[in-house]
Structure 1
Amino acid sequence: MKPDIHPDYHEINIIMTDGTTYKTRSCMGKPGETLRLDIDPKSHPAWTGVQRVMDTGGQIAKFNKKFAGIGARKKG
């Protein structure tokens, strides 16, 4: 390998959606940083078979506000 061309590979903490934590190695962030997951194998429909709506950033509310008037017929 060429020296000084690869990113720093270090240990970080992962917090799953149910609150469990574990350590892994990654190039993300700085050593010891924490990554909190919004979706993981314990909550994703592909693995659980259960559909649920996750609106972590208010995207559904933003969409409904933006397009509230579309499709509504006006009287007159």
Structure 2
Amino acid sequence: MKAEIHPNYPEIAVTCSCGNKFETRSTYGKALAIDVCNECHPFYTGKQKTLDTGGRVQKFADRFATFGVGKKA
């Protein structure tokens, strides 16, 4: 490997808006403030809600309810 071509990769402190703090490494080089982390993001906490915006799931179910049903003779 060539010397002196790789960026500096120091440890930095990351602070989330929920108050969670942790250490990681980054080429950014200074403390980082983030909006969401694994402690407060709904996907990771299990609090994520599946929203049926505009009835899309029901519309699909109604449209294809008879799909695969054979015709009566």
TM bin (shorter chain): 0.5 to 0.7
Give ranges in structure 1 of 5+ residues lacking alignment.
53-76
Q: Which has the larger radius of gyration?
A: 2
Identity of matched residues, %: 39
Aligned structure 1 segments of 4 or more residues deviating by more than 4 angstroms: none
Q: Distance in 2 between matches of 1:5 and 1:49?
A: 43
The alignment of Structure 1 onto Structure 2 pairs a total of residues equal to 49
Higher helix share: 2
Report the counterpart of residue 37 of structure 2 in structure 1: 40
Per-residue CA distance 1:22-67 (angstroms, 9 max, x = gap): 3322111x3xx21111111112222112238xxxxxxxxxxxxxxx
Report the counterpart of residue 3 of structure 1 in structure 2: 3
What is the alpha-carbon root mean square deviation over aligned residues? 1.9
TM-score where L is the length of structure 1:
0.51
